[in-house]
Amino acid sequence: MSSNELRFTDVSGLLYPKSIAVIGASDRPGNMGGDTVERLLRFRFPGPVWAVNPNGGTARGIPCHRSIAELPAAPDSIIMAIPAAAVIDTVREAAAKGTRNGVAYAGGMAEAGGEGVELERRLAALCREVGFALCGPNCVGILNAATPVTSTFATVLHELTTLRAGPISMVTQSGGLGTNAFSLVQKAGFGFRHLISGGNEAVVTFADYLYALARDEGTKVIAAYLEGVKEGAKFARALEEARAQGKPVVMIKAGASAASARAARAHTGALVGEDRVLDAVLQELGVIRVRSVEELVDVCLVLAGTPMAKIPHGPGVGIVTFGGGFGVLAADQGLAHGLTSPMLDEERTAALRPLLVSVASAANPMDLTPSTALRAESLAKLPAAMDVIAAQPNIESLLLMVGGMAAREKEISAVFMDFWHHCPKAVGIAWPAPPSGTLERFAQQGIAAFEEPDRALRVLGRLAAFGMAQARPARPPHLAPRAFDWAAEVAGDASVVSEDRCHALLRKAGLPVAAGELATDEAAARRIARAIGLPVAMKGIAARVTHRAAAGLLAVDLRTETEVTEAYRRLQARAEAIGVALDGVYVQKLVRGGVELLVSVFRDEMFGTLVSVGSGGGMTEFIDDVVTERAPVDETVAAAMIGRLRLSRHAKDEQGPLDPTPAASFVAALSQLGAGAPWSRFTFEVNPVKWSRTGAIAVDGLLIVEQP
């Protein structure tokens, strides 16, 4: 199914119900249904709220209907505060009434194992049959602070009387973590729009919610907590929609990824497996991946107030302080978050000097010293000084930092707030040991300010990485796999396709390969060496051995036919010593020089075909320098992938830096070839590809097919 054909569940009835019935509500102390009714009334849900309990009675002052059928109308959504065993019958009754949305709090289904798995399967089947959008089971529910809708039993609401609405929406696979993030945002003086805890996702999945938030007009920033992906194609498509809508996604990814590890017999298995597959997809789609709830909240708060036009596209940060030590420490902390502190050019330095007090430093970091704040005339010049440092092209963001300064807090705050609003670049603000109420006043202006400067720098580092990722070329959405007759080249029951067959396959597909041929005796080895030209390399070929150098089945730089003969005998003897029967010895033209790359294409059960490029050769796994994207890619994307490698900074010869075009052409061609491979699981690895000024050529190859 193509991305255009993917079906997303309509969750508008869950997020924006016009009427709600709470099933299982009563006045019994601690009753979750009764508490849910109380919250709906306390936060002034604008539509009808009905309570349902087969025993009648009341729930928080409203009468309980004995069944859904008795309700005066079909509710837009139901909230089921009932045991797991009763959920199926309740959904059936609600569907008969005309309701098509609901939240099920109950645990005890698939997460409990045993009979719970079958119970959830039956529930999901019923919901699909009647077209019922179910949140849960085993969930905290849904909060919409804008309407407001409190279809949730989140205890964080107990202490609140009003909800502060904002542009941040969150979908989470942990209700507790989500409510913790909600609480931190509220305490910082900001607000959520939606908080969605999907629970077991029996019907409506993480991808469905993510897609809905991407298209939600009131959502500016999407926060997410993810443990596992159920629907890889839908998940990726939802992230693509968020990117298309200009909405940053800030995500914590925890737990073992559902993405599978590559076969261990290839280097790719160590470099691109499990979590790194998902991480590659997140990087490709511009997701800001964070490591803690605090960082998630910090980044979301800054993004909520920062227009996309101000997002930095480079690591340079300008640091403005009222104390030299703060600036020195901030420069060091910035490095840890991927930021640099560029020196000011002569033009900016000259422009600053008349705007600063004599003891201040016209540099980056710019130390204003406390004298600036204590003199009204120097404080009046501060906005112009900050404009100067902001105008330097390689400064992409700014950190404004002040400690203490209680006596001039209002004046400094006013200067910082005005600069934050008018500066064309992203601005972070840190105020260690702030006077009482200072950070709250910034929040009232929509500005997230931090007591700890490192937190502000961490956010700016994340924004810079996000901006640089946004600037990368996007994978062409409709690039077709390369047509190729795989059945003619690979036997149907093959599990390991050795190098000689891989090279033949690559040649037939039009990719450049070092000349070589398989020899089954000494005479053939000498004949092949003469034909392709000495010097040569020789490799013992056996399906059991995929790392020949480690097995001692490799000989290189053979310059004479005598050396070829001796090497053939030595390789045969080595194979016999380790108990391996060789298919033959591959004699290959020796390719000298060049930068060694590993290029591989493989299929993941969750995200489909992916392509990787990294540092190649025998040290591949130790260097651990690899970039992965979903396949197929074109040469533009492939060149950007190569440019992200650490290796690319040193890819040069005596004439200077290497042109990435030939290497990018090889990566793109292999990605397009592999995208059309017929197997559900495979790894096609070429290591190394020799990249030089004259081109890129395959020197080794391995295809592993994981048969069902």
pLDDT in tens, 18-51: 999 999 999 999 999 999 999 999 999 999 999 9
- Judge whether 503 lies within some domain: no
DSSP state of 585: E
Predicted local distance difference test score (pLDDT) of residue 267:
47
Q: How many domains does the chain have?
A: 4
Q: Are residues 542 and 434 in the same domain?
A: no
Q: Give backbone dihedrals phi and psi of 437, rounded to 5 degrees, phi first.
A: 85, -5
Are residues 544 and 458 part of one domain? Answer: no
Residues 524 and 381 grouped into a single domain: no
Tokens of 480: 């077709």
User: Are 476 and 464 contacting, i.e. CB atoms less than 8 angstroms apart?
Assistant: no
Are 286 and 357 part of one and the same domain? no
The whole-number pLDDT of residue 647 equals 93
Measured CA to CA, the distance from residue 507 to residue 526 in angstroms comes to 23
Q: Where are the alpha helices (DSSP H) in 391-521?
A: 409-422, 438-444, 453-470, 486-489, 499-508
**Mean pLDDT over residues 648-663, rounded?**
93
pLDDT value at position 544?
84
Cα distance between residue 703 and residue 132, in whole Å: 45
CATH code of the domain in which 96 resides? 3.40.50.720
Share of residues in the chain with pLDDT > 70 (%): 96
- So what's the pLDDT on residue 258? 44
Q: Are 666 and 641 in contact (CB under 8 A)?
A: no
Same domain, 376 and 525: no
**Which structural domain range is residue 584 located in?**
515-589
Helices (H), 495-634: 499-508, 522-532, 548-551, 561-577, 620-623
Cα 568 off chain centre by: 49
Taking 60 as the threshold, does the pLDDT of residue 259 lie above it?
A: no
Q: 244 and 112 in one domain?
A: yes
Asked whether residue 490 is domain-assigned, the answer is no
379 and 234 co-located in one domain: no
- pTM, two decimal places: 0.91
The pair of structure tokens assigned to 409 is 């807090």
Residue whose pair of structure tokens reads 């070589």 in the numeric block: 516
Q: Of 549, 570, 589, which one is at a domain's C-terminal end? A: 589
Q: Is residue 631 part of a domain?
A: yes
Digit-coded pLDDT (tens) for 491-503: 988 899 989 999 9
- Are residues 545 and 443 part of one domain? no
Q: Is there a single domain that holds both residue 519 and residue 661? A: no
**Rounded distance, CA 99 to CA 39, Å?**
22
pLDDT tens track for 403-449 = 767 778 999 999 999 999 999 999 999 999 999 999 999 999 999 99
Say what the pLDDT of residue 619 is: 67
Q: Write the CATH number for 634.
A: 3.30.470.20
Q: Are residues 53 and 152 in the same domain?
A: yes
CATH number reported for the structural domain that contains residue 558 in this entry: 3.30.1490.20
- Point out the domain boundary residue: 244, 271, 303: 303
Q: What is the per-residue pLDDT for 274?
A: 55
| Number of other residues whose CB lies within 10 A of the CB of residue 329 | 18
Please indicate, yes or no, whether residues 347 and 412 belong to a single structural domain of this protein: yes
Same domain, 572 and 599: no
397-402-408 Cα angle (round to 5): 125
Using pLDDT thresholds of 50, 70 and 90, give the confidence band for residue 543.
confident
How many CA atoms does the CB half-sphere of 465 hold within 13 Å?
25
Cβ neighbours around 623 below 10 Å, total: 17
